[in-house]
Structure 1
Amino acid sequence: MLPPEPPPLPALTRAEAELIDRYLDAVDLLGRINPAVHGDTYRRLRAAQALVAKAVALRDALEVMHRRGETEVHATTLARALRVLDGERRTARVGLPPPSDDA
């Protein structure tokens, strides 16, 4: 049995889609760097190094939007797009994990 189809992405401008993609790239790397999650320093170092380039790409996406006159961020629409793209799970990795009994 196949998993259910995700809802369709809302209509986005090319710049908005780029913003969402670059934002999620950065979030994924921040999730790898998260010091509250068990892991090794080398993996975190590599993610931090990659984050620099992703932050530049995120800035560039916002600059394109601004230059094109897209002065408002349509948060409701972009939040729907993030949910379709598994943004809730991906952004949750950036936060603190639930407390454990030994903490």
Structure 2
Amino acid sequence: MLPPDLPPLPALTRAECDLVESYLEVVDLLGRINPTRTNDTYAALRAAQALVGRATALREALTLMHDRGESSLHPVTLSRALRVLDGERRAARLTVPPEQAS
């Protein structure tokens, strides 16, 4: 049995695609660094080192949009794209998990 089809991504400019991709990569790296969700300092260190490059890509996507005259973001459209790309689950790793009852 095949998995259900994902909804299609909304139409985005190339710069918006780069923005969404870079943002999610930063979110993934921050999730790997989150001290409440990892036990491995080496993995967190590697994620922190990679974060610099991904933050640069995120800045470059926003700079390109600004330079092209794209002066506003479209939160509804970008939110749909993030949801299709599993952004909610990925961003959940940034939070502090609920306290365990003893």
After TM superposition, the score normalised by the length of structure 1 is: 0.96
Aligned twin of 2:19: 19
Structure 2: stretches of 5+ with no match in the other structure: none
Q: How much does 1:38 deviate?
A: 3.4
Q: Which amino acid aligns with 1:82?
A: L
After TM superposition, the score normalised by the length of structure 2 is: 0.97
RMSD: 0.8
Aligned twin of 2:40: 40
Output the CA distance in 1 between the equivalents of 2:40 and 2:93.
Answer: 16
Task: Check conservation: 2:15, 2:61, Cα contact below 8 A.
Answer: yes
Aligned twin of 2:72: 72
Q: How much does 1:60 deviate?
A: 0.5
Sequence identity percentage:
65
Aligned twin of 1:58: 58
The number of residue pairs the alignment matches comes to 102
Aligned residue for 2:72, secondary structure, equals coil
Q: How much does 1:69 deviate?
A: 0.5
| Runs of 4+ residues over 3 Å off in structure 1 | none
Structure 1: stretches of 5+ with no match in the other structure: none
Aligned twin of 1:82: 82
